[in-house]
Chain A
Amino acid sequence: AQSVTQPDIHITVSEGASLELRCNYSYGATPYLFWYVQSPGQGLQLLLKYFSGDTLVQGIKGFEAEFKRSQSSFNLRKPSVHWSDAAEYFCAVGALIQGAQKLVFGQGTRLTINP
């Protein structure tokens, strides 16, 4: 069965500092991997996805993530955070089932930005 672990429940960084959010997954086949962001009171917005090919993927809002099969990881990074990046971030793994895709989410990492 698929599973996702986000080891950090809460991270605080200073504005302008670099960011890395960790994600480890468990899945028997080649995974489809996603990062979503959720601002307070909002739905989930897709930041980026990995299906195949280049293991370094670029997303919206200056985020990137690197798929490392040997480590079963898909960590999210940003070189310089902005106050507007404060939100909750979810890593997810998906599997195609009969043309649809069931997502399993990690528990989320809440990001706080210090001015």
Chain B
Amino acid sequence: GAGVSQSPSNKVTEKGKDVELRCDPISGHTALYWYRQSLGQGLEFLIYFQGNSAPDKSGLPSDRFSAERTGGSVSTLTIQRTQQEDSAVYLCASSSVGVEQYFGPGTRLTVT
């Protein structure tokens, strides 16, 4: 079946612009996760959703980052007023309750 998909695969934006990154999880997976992978920080947890709610937002780096999930499916990660340090690969994963996470291919974000 279809895996986790993310769009766009690559995004180049100018400093100060807002960006939206999209994640389509595996159908039926109730949990959805966002991670960031950067050279300096490795793989960092950002946020997860159980259904449409986000019980743990502690990983979001600043208040410029927000995320939502609608219909228990698609999720959008929004970064406002992007900075160069936001350049990274943003990975999305989904899982059924209590089992392993399946990752998407990621969105490579470059802030110029």
Contacts and interface: CB of A to CB of B under 8 A. Distances in A.
A and B are interacting partners: yes
Contacts of A45: 103
B78 interface: no
Interface stretch (B14-22, B40-48, B66-74, B79-87): B40-48
A70 interface: no
Contact of B55 (A42, A98, A101, A103): A98
B17 to A, nearest CB: 25
Contacts of B104: 43
B91 A43 contact: yes
A45 B98 CA distance: 18
A29 interface: no
Interface in A33-60: 34, 36, 42-46, 49
A14 B43 CA distance: 28
A90 interface: yes
B42 A44 contact: no
Interface in A90-115: 90, 96-108
Which size bracket describes the interface of A in this complex? Answer: 20 to 34
Given A44-B91, A96-B98, A107-B42, A101 B103 contact: no
B91 A100 contact: no
A100 B31 contact: yes
B42 A101 contact: no
Nearest to A45: B103
Given A36-B103, A102-B48, A106-B42, 16 more contacts: A34-B100, A43-B103, A43-B104, A43-B106, A44-B103, A45-B103, A46-B102, A99-B50, A99-B98, A100-B30, A100-B31, A100-B48, A100-B49, A100-B50, A102-B45, A104-B45
The 7 closest A-B pairs by CB, nearest first: A105-B43, A100-B31, A44-B103, A43-B103, A43-B105, A107-B42, A99-B97
Interface of A: 34, 36, 42-46, 49, 90, 96-108
10 contacts: A43-B103, A43-B104, A46-B101, A46-B102, A100-B49, A100-B95, A100-B97, A101-B31, A101-B101, A108-B42
